[in-house]
Copies of this chain bind each other. A is one copy, B any other.
Amino acid sequence: MTRIKAVFFDLDNTLVDFMRFKRMCLEGSVEAMVDAGLKIERDKAMELLYKLYDKHGMEYKHIFDDFLKEVMDTPDPKILAAAIVAYRQRRVSFLEPYPHVIPTLLELMRRGVKLGIITDAPRLKAWIRLCTLKLHHFFKIVVTLDDTGKRKPSPEPFMLGLKIAGVNPEESLYVGDREEVDIAGAKAVGMKTCFAKYGGMKFEGKVEPDYIIDDIEDLLSIVK
């Protein structure tokens, strides 16, 4: 077996539980809007907010404006502000790496393994996420959407990561939570692949990864 010299990670739902984080931010906002005077059932509010994210993408900035336009005749700036403030407060406090992320990264470093991120997030978003997680010092190799203009499973982001790390595909491992994006893309360029099952996506067997892990620390028995 070839020695793994570099491990590349997807960011959202691989290093950070992004869906849980979003849910906590939204729940905080709903509570704050109710407190500020909005009459709505919490479940119904959450449902509508997720519908708006489905429509506009998870990074949509005007979600609360749109939401209030749907549920109030005249959107109340106090309620809008309450939602924004609650969202911001949670955003800076509740973004946490999955359990065992930090000790696993540290141990991989001790073993001389290079670490990288290959993400579809735009450059600044990716770095903001890493800084919020206090992981920005862990990664010298961070490939974002802005660096190639191509999203996974295109080969470009993977190839760029490999090039910066100076490793061959077969000496590297890619860890991600989406079969057809992360696993298929990394496999196509010849990298070893690892499906992060703890990321919340069910493994459907559409693409066969080399490894499937339940906890990120399982990497320590894969990458010796």
Contacts and interface: CB of A to CB of B under 8 A. Distances in A.
Nearest to A79: B127
Contacts of A36: 131, 136-137
Contacts of A131: 32, 36, 78, 81-82, 84-86
Q: How many copies does the complex hold?
A: 2
A77 B84 CA distance: 25
Interface in A169-186: none
A167 interface: no
Given A127-B78, A136-B78, A88 B85 contact: no
A159 B223 CA distance: 71
Contacts of A78: 127, 130-131, 136, 142
Interface residues of A, number: 25
A123 B77 contact: yes
A85 B92 contact: yes
A132 interface: yes
A12 to B, nearest CB: 15
A148 to B, nearest CB: 15
Contacts of A32: 131
Most buried by B among A80, A91, A131: A131
Contacts of A86: 131
Contact of A130 (B81, B128, B142): B81
A42 B91 CA distance: 27
A201 interface: no
Contact of A82 (B82, B91, B136, B142): B136
A128 B85 contact: yes
A29 to B, nearest CB: 11
Contact of A92 (B89, B136, B137): B89
Interface string A49-89: 00000000000000000000000000001101110111011
Interface of A: 32, 36, 77-78, 80-82, 84-86, 88-89, 91-93, 123-124, 127-128, 130-132, 136-137, 142
